[in-house]
Amino acid sequence: MIAKLTGRIDQVEDGRCVVDVNGVGYLVQASTRTLASLPSGGTAALLIETQVREDAIVLYGFAEAAERDWFRLLTTVQGVGGKVALGVLSALSPRDLVAAIQAGDKAGLTRAPGVGPKLAIRLLTELREKAGAMPLGTAFSPAIPAPSGGVAGDALSALLNLGYRRPEAQAAVGRVTERLGVVPALDQLIRESLKELAR
């Protein structure tokens, strides 16, 4: 089994790339997030998940361990193959995925290609207990669910009206509330949450 590839990124296409390792080109399927992080023509290391089927050996590549771990978990859900799992990871970062599952955000999951309402419900049901223990990635801080009512709920509603996605907005409001230790005034909470989202 191949677990890691380090080589020159020969080409990047939609949903995949070719990694040249000492003259051998490996075709690696990857999320848009991982593909965007690759240096075109430069050297990169990808964590690899190898799947062997009757008709093919498929390599899935990840820029970080958190995304690979989520891929492994997603593919344990019935109806989620490698392609759908990469679609979910392209639409949602590991942090956003944790927040969406904890918030029961079915609409957020259905934005991923290949995920319809029924599959979104299955993902929420099967992964709810496991999501809290999953890694969030090196660039992410923990998603803290925001209260649904009061000042925090009003701030969340304001952020949603500004066009932010629910998992991101909810996590930002939760982090600000926890950091301040008290529930601030609505305008301060919105202002601090916007700063949090801009990072």
Task: Kindly state the tokens that stand for 191.
Answer: 């202002």
In a domain, 185, yes or no: yes
Average pLDDT in the 16-33 region? Answer: 94
Average pLDDT in the 115-134 region? Answer: 85
pTM, full prediction: 0.67
CATH number for the domain that contains residue 29: 2.40.50.140
**pLDDT greater than 60 at residue 17:** yes
Residue 165 is part of which domain span?
Answer: 150-198
Average pLDDT in the 3-17 region? Answer: 92
CATH number for the domain that contains residue 193: 1.10.8
Average pLDDT in the 16-34 region? Answer: 94
DSSP tag of 147: P
Q: What type of residue sits at position 102?
A: Q
CA angle, 65 as apex, 63 and 70 as ends, to 5°? 105
Task: Kindly state the tokens that stand for 88.
Answer: 């979910």
Residues of the chain with pLDDT > 70, as a percent, come to: 90
- Taking only the tens place, the pLDDT of each residue in 91-123 is 888 888 888 888 888 888 888 888 999 999 999
Position 139 confidence tier, pLDDT thresholds 50, 70, 90: very low
**pLDDT greater than 70 at residue 145:** no
Asked if 173 contacts 155 with a C-beta cutoff of 8 angstroms, the reply is yes
- What is the per-residue pLDDT for 134? 73
- What is the per-residue pLDDT for 119? 93
User: Which has more confidence, 164 or 194?
Assistant: 194
Q: Residue 47 belongs to what H/E stretch?
A: strand 43-52
37-46, 109-118, 170-179: least confident range: 170-179
Burial of 159 (0-12, 13-18, 19+ CB in 10 A): buried
CATH number for the domain that contains residue 109: 1.10.150.20
User: Which has more confidence, 86 or 101?
Assistant: 86
In a domain, 141, yes or no: no
In a domain, 139, yes or no: no
**Number of domains the chain is built from:** 3
- What is the per-residue pLDDT for 158? 85
Of 131, 160, 179, at which residue does a domain stop? Answer: 131
Dihedral sign from CA coordinates of 140, 145, 148, 150: negative
**pLDDT greater than 80 at residue 135:** no
List, in order, residues 6 or more apart from 156 with CB less than 8 Å away: 146, 148, 166, 169, 170, 173
Position 29 confidence tier, pLDDT thresholds 50, 70, 90: very high
In a domain, 36, yes or no: yes
